[in-house]
Structure 1
Amino acid sequence: MFDNLSERLERSFKILKGEGKITEINVAETLKDVRKALLDADVNYKVAKTFTDTVKEKALGQNVLSAVKPSQLMVKIVHDELTQLMGGETAEINIESRPAVILMSGLQGSGKTTFSGKLARMLKSKKNRKPLLVACDVYRPAAVEQLRVLAEQIEVPMYSEPDSKSPVEIAQNAIKEAKAKGYDLVIVDTAGRLAIDEQMMNEIAAIKAAINPDEILFVVDSMTGQDAVNTAKEFNERLDFNGVVLTKLDGDTRGGAALSIRSVVNKPIKFVGTGEKLDAIDQFHPARMADRILGMGDIVSLVERAQEQYDEEEAKRLQKKIAKNQFDFNDFLSQIAQIKKMGNLKELASMIPGVGKAIKDIDIDDNAFKSIEAIIFSMTPLERSNPEILNGSRRTRIANGSGTTIQEVNRLLKQFEQTRKMMKMVTSSKMGKMMPKMK
C-alpha cells in the first residue's frame, strides 16, 4: 500500500539529514522532491502544489528545538499536513435512523456489490445491526446472483424482484419490507456503467429522490488514480454524496486517489477495501494512513484487529495451561486460527513500525501456515495433547502424512518448544504476576 510514495518521501527527507537548521534553500530542495513524489503518485497538481506550499510556510515559521533534527521536524509537519489533506478527523457513517438507508453508487467494476456485502457484515458484527441487502442492478448479467451469494456467505437477507420492475420501485418496496420485518439497516446496491452516462445518473438520482437515503456512499477503485477523482467529482455534482469508499487500496502503490479526492470533492473518505475477503474492510483514519505512508506503521489498527478476535474466556483458559506448562498443539492451532482471522499477513506485519520497509520486497503468502497446519493435523489427538511423546518413528509418520520432510517436522517441534518455554517464563515473571489472578 503506497509503497512507491513512501519510498520517494523517505528519499526526500534525506536531503535534510545532516543539516543543522531549516533554511529556505534546503526546504525548497526537499519540497521540490516531495512535490515530484506526489505528482508521480498521481496526486492532482493543484493539490500537490498547495500541499508543499503549506508545508514550506509552516517549516520556515518553526523554531527548531535543539533536541529535534530538521529532518524530524519536516516529517512531523508533512505528517500533519497529510492527515489534513485526507480529511483530518475520522468520518463516521450516519446510521442513526431505523431503518437506516445506505445508497451505494459508482462505476461498474469499482467493487460496489462486493463492498455492499462487506459493509453489511461489518455493521452486523460491530454495530449489532440487522441489515437487508437490496439488488437494484437489473442490467448487469448475474449482478443479482452475485449479491445473493454474498448475502448467503454473511448470513444476511437479500431483497430482489423480477427484471421487469424498475430499480426505483425495487428500492421503495425493499424499505417497506425492512420496516415490516424489523430490519434496521437497508443497503441498496445500484447499477454501474463502464463510463458515466446520463441514463445512469438520472436513474440513481431518481432512486435517491424516492428513498431519501441517510447515507450515500461513492465507491471507486483507488488504483485508477486521477480518473477516480474526476469520476467522484461528476457523481458528487449530481448526487451530493456523503462519503467515499476506496476499494483495492491494498494494491495501490501510488496513493493519488486517497491524497486528492478529499480536496477535490470536499467529501470524506469513510471506508477502504483492503483485499478480496469479506472482512477486508477498514474505517478510514487519516492520521493512521499518514503514519503508514511515512513508514511509521499503524500499531493502533493492529491492536484493534487483535481485540476483535480476543476471547476473554479463551485467554483465561490458555493462561492457566501455560502456567502449568500444558500448552499443546491444539492451543497452537487455536492461536494460528486467531491470527489468520485478523487479515492479510503482510499487511498485518507492515502495521508494526519499521517492519513495512523491511518486508517490502518479501512475499508473505496467506498460506504461510499451511505446512505447519498440515504437520499438526497429521498428529493423532494423543500426540497433539502430549508433544513430548513425539519420538523418531512418530515424526517420520507425521512427515509422510503431511507431505513435508522430517527436517520440517523437527524444526516445528523445536520452535514449539521454544515458544512454550518463553510463554512459561513470561507467565511466571513479574509481568505474569501483574496480570489478574485466575480462580
Structure 2
Amino acid sequence: MLDHVSISHESGLVLWSKSYNPSFEAMSQSSARSPVNTLVRDIMIENKSADPEEGFEKDGWRVRWTVENGLGLVFVVVFPALLPLTYISDLLSRSKSLFLSLFQQSIQALVLSLSSTSTSQQSHQATEEANVQIDQALSRLKRELVGERWEEIWERCLRGCEERADVKKTGGKSKKNNHNNVQAVQKEAVQQDNDGDKTASQPDQTGLSAEEIAKNVQAFKNRMKTTSSGRSSPAPNGGTASPGKHGRPAQTKRTSTANAGAEKIMRKWGNGTGEVTPDAMKELDFSGPDLRDEQEKEGKVDVDGLVDRGSLGQVGKEGFYEVADWDVGKGSSNNVNKEELPSEEEILARGRRTGGSGNAAAKTDNPEDLQEPISRLSSLFNRLTGKKVLSESDLDPVLREMEKHLMSKNVAKDIAEKLCEGVGKALVGKKLGGMTSVRHEVNNALSTTITQVLSPKTSTDILLDIKRKASQPLPPSVSSDPNATPKRDPYTMTFVGVNGVGKSTNLSKVAFWLLQNKLRVLIAACDTFRSGAVEQLRVHVRNLGLLESQLGVGRAGEGKLVELYERGYGKDAAGIAKDAIAHAKENGYDVVLIDTAGRMQDNEPLMRALAKLVTVNNPDKIVFVGEALVGNEAVDQLSKFDRSLKDFSAAAFGVRGKARGIDGMILTKFDTIDDKVGAALSMTYITGQPILFVGCGQTYSDIRSLRVNHIVEALLGA
C-alpha cells in the first residue's frame, strides 16, 4: 500500500502528486521531516550517492525513485518501510514510460522555460517574461493532465502492477485459473455471435489484463443482446429491413446497383394538365399521423423529449426545487459520458509515433538549452528572494499579458483594460518577498477584483422574493363592494433583449422551474409584433401543462398551474401586460412572466415603448436576456438597454417614481462557449446586477445557476 507518489522536476517544481495517507500528508507540511524534501535536499542538491533501486528509509517510510536525465524529471514513490512491496520498480518504470508518452512535448516546453531563468546577467524584464512563460507552460501541462485523465491512467497502472506481483507471489495459480475461466466465457460468447466472423473467435489474449478481458466479454454480451432483440432481421434479398418513419417499413437496402435500377419505379408528379386530383394528393401523401396530436388527445407528452432528466435539479432542505449549478468548462456532470481509457499499450504506441519515449535528451530541439540539473535548481531556489517593492515597470508586462488573456476569454476590451489598470494601481508599492512572483501577485489581486465585481449586490433568490411578497399584508380593498375580499398582487418578471437571443424559450424554462416549486404561473404574450410569437408561447404553455400532469407537480383542486394570457397582434404591449397582471391578481396566480418583442438597442421608438411597459406595470424584476457568445457587443446591448430604460421611464411619462433599469441577466447558449465566460463578467461589470440563470440546452430543464468561483476559475485558467 502506497502513501505518496509524485512527479517533479529537478528544480523542485512539482508537476503532479497524490497522497494516500492523511498522516503522511499532514507530516509533509513540515519541510524538515518530509521524506520527499529529504530526497531533494540531501541527495539531489548535495549530490550524495544513493541507489534509487534500494532507496532510503526515513521515519518509518521508504523512498524509491527513478530519474529521467534528459528532461530532469524525478518519479518518487513513498511507502511504509516494513511492507515488502516487490512491484515498485515495475511501477516506476511503467509510470515513467506512460507519462513521457503522453506529455513529453509539454514537458520539453516547460524545461526550456526553466532553463531560460538560469541564464546569468539577464535584465529584470527578461526574467519576468521567463517567469510568465514558466507559468503558462505549467498551466498547459496541468490542463493536459486533466484532459488525458492521467490520474485514472496512474491508478490503472498501479492496479496492474499489484495484480502482476500477486500472480508471481502465488505462482500464477489463482490468477491463471481465473484468467482461463474468463477466456472460456469469452470464447463461448464469440462462438455464439451470429455475425459469422470466424477470425474473432480466436482472439489473441497474450498480455491482456483481467480488466480488459472483462470489458471484451461485456462487449460481446451486449452484441448478443442486440442481435437477439430482433431489431434487425435478414431481408429476402440479403439486405436489412428496418422500420421507417411513422412505423412504416423502409425500403430494403439493395446490394446490387443494377437490380436497384431495374426495380425502381419512376414517380409521377402530375398528369400533364396542371391539375392535381385528390387521388393523386392522397397517393403522394407520405406523412403519417402526428404523434403529438395523438398524445395531446390522450393527455400525454413525450417527457424525455422536453425534459432532460439528467439535468434536473433537486429539492433542497427548505423544500424548494433548485436548479443545478453549471460547472464551467465541463458542462453538466450528470450528462458526461466518459470515453474509455486507452490501454497502456496504446499510450506507449502513441508515444513512439510522436517521439514521446526513449532518451528524451536526444529529442529536444536544442540540447544546449538544457542546463545542468544542479545549476537549474540553484537558479530556481535563488530567484525572487528577499524583499522587493513592486513598481509600474515590474507590473506592466504581466498586466498586458493578463489583459490579452481576459480578452481571449471573451471579456470586452474596455473592461479588461479597466480591471488590469485598477489591479496595477493597487499593487504599486507593495512589497514582494520569498518565492512569490509578480504574476502570482497579479493573479491573486485580479481574482479578488473579479470576485468583487461578480458578487451579487441584490438578492438573486427569486423564490425568496416571491415568498416575501406573498407574505406582505393585503392592501385595502378599493372595490365599492364592502364584502369584497382584497387580492394580493402577483410577482412579475419582464423579459427584455435584442432579437433572436431566446427570450421566449428561456422564459419557458423559468416557468418550468417555477412549476416545479408548485407556483401558479401566468405567461403574458406581449410580443405583438413578431409573427408566430403568440403561437410559440401557446405551444410552450401546452407542453408545460402536459408536463405538469405527468410529472406530478400540480396542486390538487386549483386547476392548471400555467396558462397563457394573449390578445393577439398589433395591440399595445403595455396595456396587455397591465390586463394580464390584473387577471393574475383576480385569479390567484403567484407569478406573471411578461414576454416582450425583441428590439435593437439603438431603436429609440421601440425602447420608448419598452420603457412605457415598465413604467406602467412596475415589474418586480426586469431581466435582460443576452447571448454568452458575444463580447464587446454584449456591453453595447446591455448598457444601452439599461440606459434607455432609466432615461425613458418614470419622468418621461409623467409618472412619479424611481427610474427602472436592468435587475438581472440570463445568459443563453452557455453550453457552446466552454471556458470563454467573459460575457458574464462584462455584463455584471456594466450594470452591477447578477447573472440569475444560464441557458444550456433545448429542453425545459436546461437552466443552471452560475457560481462566482466557477467564473473566476474559468477566466484566470489557462
Q: Which residue of structure 2 lines up, in the alignment, with residue 306 of structure 1?
A: none
Q: Is the 8 A contact 2:458 2:689 kept in 1?
A: no
What is the Cα deviation at residue 16 of structure 1?
11
Distance 2:578 2:422 in 1: 47
Relative distance call for 1:32 and 1:154 in structure 2 (3 A) is same
Relative distance call for 1:77 and 1:264 in structure 2 (3 A) is same
2:403 equivalent among 31, 35, 41: 35
Structure in which a larger fraction of residues adopt helix: 1
Relative distance call for 1:83 and 1:165 in structure 2 (3 A) is same
Amino acid at match of 1:215: K
Distance 2:134 2:572 in 1: 56
Distance 1:79 1:248 in 2: 25
Distance 2:521 2:498 in 1: 23
> In the TM superposition, what whole-angstrom CA distance separates every residue of 1:204-237 from its partner, at most 9, and x where no partner exists?
1221122111111111112122112111111111
Distance 1:159 1:83 in 2: 41
> In the TM superposition, what whole-angstrom CA distance separates every residue of 1:335-390 from its partner, at most 9, and x where no partner exists?
xxxxxxxxxxxxxxxxxxxxxx8xxxxxxxxxxxxxxxxxxxxxxxxxxxxxxxxx
What is the Cα deviation at residue 101 of structure 1?
0.7
Q: Which residue of structure 2 lines up, in the alignment, with residue 52 of structure 1?
A: 420
Relative distance call for 1:68 and 1:141 in structure 2 (3 A) is same
What is the Cα deviation at residue 149 of structure 1?
1.8
What is the Cα deviation at residue 58 of structure 1?
4.3
Amino acid at match of 1:290: V
* Greater Rg over alpha carbons, structure: 2
Gaps of 5+ in 1: 1-9, 296-356, 358-439
Q: Which residue of structure 1 lines up, in the alignment, with residue 497 of structure 2?
A: 106
Relative distance call for 1:143 and 1:88 in structure 2 (3 A) is closer
Distance 1:16 1:118 in 2: 41
Distance 1:16 1:78 in 2: 20
Q: Which residue of structure 2 lines up, in the alignment, with residue 168 of structure 1?
A: 574
Matched, 1:291 2:713: yes
What is the Cα deviation at residue 164 of structure 1?
4.9
2:669 equivalent among 232, 248, 270: 248
Relative distance call for 1:88 and 1:267 in structure 2 (3 A) is closer
Q: Which residue of structure 2 lines up, in the alignment, with residue 209 of structure 1?
A: 615
Distance 2:133 2:686 in 1: 25
Gaps of 5+ in 2: 1-130, 139-379, 470-488, 546-561, 646-660
Q: Helix, strand or coil: the match of 2:571?
A: coil
Amino acid at match of 1:145: E
What is the Cα deviation at residue 122 of structure 1?
1.9
Q: Is the 8 A contact 2:634 2:682 kept in 1?
A: no
Relative distance call for 1:90 and 1:275 in structure 2 (3 A) is farther
Amino acid at match of 1:131: V
Q: Helix, strand or coil: the match of 1:104?
A: strand
Amino acid at match of 1:243: G
Distance 1:110 1:250 in 2: 14
What is the Cα deviation at residue 42 of structure 1?
4.4
Relative distance call for 1:71 and 1:38 in structure 2 (3 A) is closer
| Bigger Cα displacement from structure 2, 226-235 vs 269-278 | 269-278
Relative distance call for 1:11 and 1:101 in structure 2 (3 A) is farther
Relative distance call for 1:199 and 1:88 in structure 2 (3 A) is closer
Q: Is the 8 A contact 1:12 1:30 kept in 2?
A: no
Q: Helix, strand or coil: the match of 1:245?
A: strand
Q: Helix, strand or coil: the match of 1:113?
A: helix
Distance 2:509 2:636 in 1: 25
Distance 2:457 2:533 in 1: 35
What does residue range 256-405 of structure 1 map to in structure 2 within 5 Å?
256-295=678-717
Matched, 1:143 2:533: yes
Q: Which residue of structure 1 lines up, in the alignment, with residue 39 of structure 2?
A: none
Q: Helix, strand or coil: the match of 1:192?
A: coil
Distance 1:80 1:89 in 2: 16
Relative distance call for 1:119 and 1:161 in structure 2 (3 A) is same
Q: Is the 8 A contact 1:249 1:274 kept in 2?
A: yes
Distance 2:135 2:663 in 1: 39
Distance 2:427 2:133 in 1: 15
Relative distance call for 1:195 and 1:59 in structure 2 (3 A) is closer
2:135 equivalent among 2, 11, 14: 14
Amino acid at match of 2:692: K
What is the Cα deviation at residue 180 of structure 1?
2.0
1:81 equivalent among 435, 449, 457: 449
What is the Cα deviation at residue 276 of structure 1?
2.4
Q: Which residue of structure 1 lines up, in the alignment, with residue 89 of structure 2?
A: none
What is the Cα deviation at residue 178 of structure 1?
0.9
Distance 1:271 1:122 in 2: 11
What is the Cα deviation at residue 188 of structure 1?
0.2
| Bigger Cα displacement from structure 2, 140-149 vs 64-73 | 64-73
| Bigger Cα displacement from structure 2, 272-281 vs 61-70 | 61-70
Q: Is the 8 A contact 2:132 2:439 kept in 1?
A: no
Matched, 1:225 2:646: no
> In the TM superposition, what whole-angstrom CA distance separates every residue of 1:134-154 from its partner, at most 9, and x where no partner exists?
111111111112112222333
Distance 2:434 2:543 in 1: 57
Relative distance call for 1:210 and 1:52 in structure 2 (3 A) is same
Q: Which residue of structure 1 lines up, in the alignment, with residue 551 of structure 2?
A: none
Relative distance call for 1:168 and 1:44 in structure 2 (3 A) is same
What is the Cα deviation at residue 179 of structure 1?
1.3
Q: Helix, strand or coil: the match of 2:525?
A: strand
Q: Which residue of structure 2 lines up, in the alignment, with residue 184 of structure 1?
A: 590
Distance 1:222 1:47 in 2: 16
Distance 1:186 1:88 in 2: 24
What is the Cα deviation at residue 270 of structure 1?
2.5
Q: Is the 8 A contact 2:457 2:688 kept in 1?
A: no
Distance 1:46 1:195 in 2: 19
Distance 1:221 1:196 in 2: 18
Distance 2:134 2:715 in 1: 13
Amino acid at match of 2:499: Q
What is the Cα deviation at residue 64 of structure 1?
5.9
User: Among the aligned pairs, what percent are the same residue?
Assistant: 29
Relative distance call for 1:195 and 1:205 in structure 2 (3 A) is closer
What is the Cα deviation at residue 89 of structure 1?
5.7
Distance 1:55 1:13 in 2: 22
Q: Is the 8 A contact 2:398 2:442 kept in 1?
A: no
Matched, 1:134 2:540: no
Distance 1:217 1:12 in 2: 42
What is the Cα deviation at residue 285 of structure 1?
3.0
Q: Which residue of structure 2 lines up, in the alignment, with residue 309 of structure 1?
A: none
Q: Which residue of structure 2 lines up, in the alignment, with residue 238 of structure 1?
A: 644
Amino acid at match of 2:606: M
* Aligned length, in residue pairs: 286
Q: Which residue of structure 1 lines up, in the alignment, with residue 272 of structure 2?
A: none
Distance 2:506 2:413 in 1: 30
Distance 1:235 1:13 in 2: 43
TM-score (norm 2): 0.36
RMSD after superposition: 3.1
Q: Which residue of structure 2 lines up, in the alignment, with residue 153 of structure 1?
A: 543
Amino acid at match of 2:135: K
2:513 equivalent among 103, 116, 122: 122
Q: Which residue of structure 2 lines up, in the alignment, with residue 301 of structure 1?
A: none
Relative distance call for 1:16 and 1:76 in structure 2 (3 A) is farther
